[in-house]
Amino acid sequence: MNTEKVPSFSVGELNRAIGNLLSRGFAPRFVVYASVSKCQLKNGHLWLTLTDGTSSITAVIWSSSLKKCDFYPKEEDGVQILGKLNFWENRANLVVQVIDIKPTLSTVLRQFEVVRSLLFTEGLIDPARHRILPQYPKVVAILTSVPSSAYADILRTAKDRWPLTKLLIFPIPVQGSVSEKIQVVLKNLANSYVELELEVLVLARGGGSREDLIVFDDADLCRQLAQFPIPTITGIGHEDDLTVADLVSDHRSATPTAAIVDLLPNRLIEKNNCEQISNRLNDYFDWSMERKLKRIHEARQKLIEYSPLQLIRRKRELLVQKNYLLNAFSPNLLLKRGFCIVRNLLNQPIRSIKEITIDNSLKIEFSDGYTEVSVKSVSLNQDK
C-alpha cells in the first residue's frame, strides 16, 4: 500500500480536522423540519431523534435553553427547529443543538383535533350550552397580552363604541407553554367575579401563525374556559383561525377588535334608537291626549244631552206633541162641528143602526150637553 501522497492523522487530529471543516464549510445556524421519533429527558437536557422518514439525526435542547422554550415536543410531533451543529472531537459525535423549537402546522392541527374530540365527548362543545351575552355590559374582564396591538385596538374600539362599560384588564402571556399561567388567572377571576361585578370575560390574542395559537388548544385551559361562571367571548388570531377555545366559549369573534364590536353596542346606533323611541313616545302622548280630549268632549256632550233640564225640556216637548195629537183627534172637535155621539143606556156608543130597536132609550151627546130620546122608528139605508 503506497501511502506517501496520502495525508495521515491521529484520531484526535482527524476529529479536529472534521470539526474545522464543519465549522468553516457549514452554516452557523440553520432551520430544519422534522418529526420527533424519540424524546428523552436526561440530566435536565432533552434529547431528540429527528427523522424525515428515511434519515435521522440526534438533536439536544440543553437545560438552559429548555427553560426558555415555549413548546415541549412529544414523540410523533412535527417540529421546526432553529439550530446549529455540535461536533465533539473526542468522540466524533455530531448532534444538532436546538436554539429554538416550534410545532409545525400538522402538529398543531393534530392536537386541535384530539382536544376537540375529547371535549366534544365530555359535552363541553355544544351550542346548547352557549349563554347569551348581556346587551349593555357594565363591567367586562379583558384577558390579553399587555402591551400589544390587540390591547390597543380593544381599548380604542371600546371607547368609540360604548365608553360606559368598565374594562378590567388582566395581562396574560399568549404564546408558548403558558396554559398554566392563563389558568391561574381564570381561576382567580372565577372566585372573585361576583365582588368585581363582572358580566363577561373576553379572551383575546392578536394575529400570528396558527402554530403560535397552540396554547388555546390546551385541554385543561379549554375545560376551565367552558366552565367559567359568566359568559365568555374569544377573539383569537385571524378570521380563518379556529381554536378549541373558540369552540367552548359562548361566542367566537374573528379578531380581538371584532370581539369588542360583537360585545358592546354602538353608541351612535343606540342614540338614534333612543331618538326614535322618544319620537314614538311623543307621538303616542299626542295621540293619547287627543283621544282623551275627544272622550272628555263626548262625555261633556252626553252630560249636556242627558242633563235634567234637557230631559225635562224633551219630556215637555213630547207632552206638547201628544197633547196636540190628543186635541187633533179629540171627539170634542167633531161635536163642535155639529156631529153628535149616540149611546145606549149602558153608555156604550152606538156604531150601527142595527144596534137600535124601536122603543130603545138613547142618549145623544152634543158639544154643549146631551139629551135622552126614545126610538120611534128605525130605517136602514137601502144601499147598506
In sign, the C-alpha dihedral spanning 257, 258, 260, 261 is: positive
* Count of CB atoms situated within 10 Å of the CB of 97: 15
Identify the domain boundary among 222, 248, 265: 265
Domain presence at residue 340: yes
Higher pLDDT, 167 or 377: 167
Q: Is residue 2 part of a domain?
A: no
Same domain? 165 vs 217: yes
From the list 142, 172, 179, 177, the residue with the least C-alpha distance to 157 is 142
Q: What is the pLDDT of residue 335?
A: 80
Q: Is residue 231 part of a domain?
A: yes
User: Does the structure show a pLDDT above 90 at 234?
Assistant: yes
- What angle is formed at CA 268 by the lines to CA 267 and CA 269, rounded to 5 degrees? 90
How does DSSP assign 246-262, residue by residue? HHHSSEEESSHHHHHHH
Query: How many domains are there within the chain?
Result: 4
Asked, for residue 280, whether it belongs to a domain, the answer is yes
For residue 249, the one-letter residue type is S
Q: What is the pLDDT of residues 270-321, one digit of tens each?
A: 999 999 999 999 999 999 999 999 999 988 888 887 788 888 888 888 998 8
Let me know if residue 176 belongs to a domain: yes
84-101 pLDDT, tens digit per residue, is 988 888 888 889 999 988
In this structure, the answer to whether residues 256 and 117 fall within a common structural domain is yes
CB 259 within 8 A of CB 237: no
Q: For residues 116 and 247, state if they share a domain.
A: yes
d(CA 340, CA 331): 9
Picking from 103, 138, 170, the residue at the C-terminal end of a domain is 103
Does residue 147 share a domain with residue 71? no
Mean predicted confidence (pLDDT) in 365-379 = 86
Residue 381 lies in a domain: no
> How many angstroms separate the CA atoms of 72 and 98, rounded?
12
Domain boundary among 54, 85, 103: 103
Whether residue 19 lies inside any domain: the answer is yes
> 3-class DSSP state for residue 365?
strand
Residues 243 and 310 both lie in one domain: no
61 lies in the same domain as 134: no
The one-letter amino acid code at 91 reads: R
- Give me the residues paired with residue 35 across strands: 51, 78
Residue 186: which domain range? 108-265
